[in-house]
Amino acid sequence: MVRIAFLGLGNMGRPMAARLIGAGNDVALYNRTGAKAEAVAAPGARVAATPREAAEGAAAIISMVGDDAASRAVWLGPDGALGGNAAPDAFAIECSTLSHDWVIELAHLAARAGLRYIDCPVTGLPEQAAAGELMLLAGAGGDDLADARRLLAPLCRDIIHFGPVGSGTAYKLMVNLMGSIQIAAVAEGMLQAEAAGLDLDQVASVLSTGAAASPQVIRNARRMAGGDHDPVGGFAGRWRLKDTLYGLALARKLGASAVLGEAAAGAFQKSVDSGFGDANESRVIDALRHAEEGGRRGGTGRAERLAP
């Protein structure tokens, strides 16, 4: 049995924490909204009032929160986990998708606190988290990751080691930026199909079997065709925008081209600005549809349906 502090119990954090509890660990739970922690608590788990309290005596501190600001809040300050009295050589494992700059800074702060830091963002949706089928994208020293693998095993089907600290986050931001481009492209394509008078359910079905298919394309085309933008079981538009902006920041830091990423960021910014930030990311199609309609009303262009 391992004593673990788990910080953040949102859509992904809840099933991840439940997996660690179910594996027989002694888990201290912290969430900014305490009711969520109480809902996850079970035999083998306890609720902590602060991240620092959760980290007391922990062999591993795992965070799964929304963005840099939330990560800073749980790790730093008088009530932060880095101020807790964790076990000697404890792990600080950040599973959130964060900016590369903050991950590198946090790694230095964790090392100063005597913790072994692993950046470990994940791929997968809540149902995969509940089944222990996530993929973990790790940046860490080889010995540190080897020591942490058994602890992380209940969460995942695989752990991919990309290299030193920061490399797991670099991969996650790159692949999420690609995903943003794909989703924006699906929205644009579905709107073109709609303007052409095609049946969107049929379009989504055929897309899923063609060369353009990917999990992102298949999932979002189906949602767009059905108008199903419920965030449950999916990914909210505001988080997609956040990941896109973090990916662009890394591209700029590396001097890498991100022309398509910039266009995708613009699409998701429109979605959030339209009030769709809490809807599933697929609702970007409505933001683009509204923008097209506004452009036609303003005389900047006109789309015509193809004759039957």
Instruction: Look at the alpha carbons of 73, 77, 78, 84 in this order and tell me if their dihedral is positive or negative.
Output: positive
172 is catalytic: yes
To the nearest 10 degrees (0 to 180), the angle between helices 237-254 and 167-195 is 120
Q: Please choose, from the candidates 239, 202, 226, 208, the residue with its C-alpha nearest in 3D space to the C-alpha of residue 121.
A: 239
What counts of helices (H) and strands (E) characterise the chain?
Answer: 13, 9
Helix axis angle, 259-271 to 284-297, nearest 10°: 90
- Close Cβ partners of 145 (under 8 Å, ≥ 6 residues apart): 118, 138, 159, 161
Torsions phi, psi of 195, nearest 5?
-65, -30
List beta partners, residue 46.
Answer: 28
From 172, 242, 253, 270, active-site residue: 172
DSSP-derived pairing of the beta strands 45-47 and 156-163? unpaired
> Helices (DSSP H) in 126-166: which residue ranges?
126-130, 142-152
How many CB atoms within 10 Å of residue 304? 7
DSSP 8-class letter at 305: P
Q: Would you state the torsion angle of the CA atoms of residues 205, 206, 212, 218, taken in this order, to the nearest 10 degrees?
A: 0
Could you list the active site residues? 172
